[in-house]
Copies of this chain bind each other. A is one copy, B any other.
Amino acid sequence: MSTVSDLTAHTGYWLRMVSNAVSQDFARKVSDEGVTVAEWTFMRALYDAKAMAPSALAEKMGMTKGAISKLADRLLEKGLLARTDNPDDKRAHSLSLTDAGRTKVPVLAALADMNDAEYFDVLTREEHETLDRILKALVERRGLRTPPVD
Contacts and interface: CB of A to CB of B under 8 A. Distances in A.
B47 A4 contact: yes
A71 to B, nearest CB: 16
A92 to B, nearest CB: 26
Identical copies of this chain, number: 2
Interface string A119-150: 11011000110111011111101101011111
Contacts of A137: 122-123, 127
Interface residues of A, number: 53
A136 B14 contact: yes
Interface stretch (A51-59, A72-80, A83-91, A106-114): A106-114
10 contacts: A3-B106, A7-B112, A9-B116, A12-B116, A15-B22, A16-B19, A17-B144, A21-B142, A123-B137, A127-B134
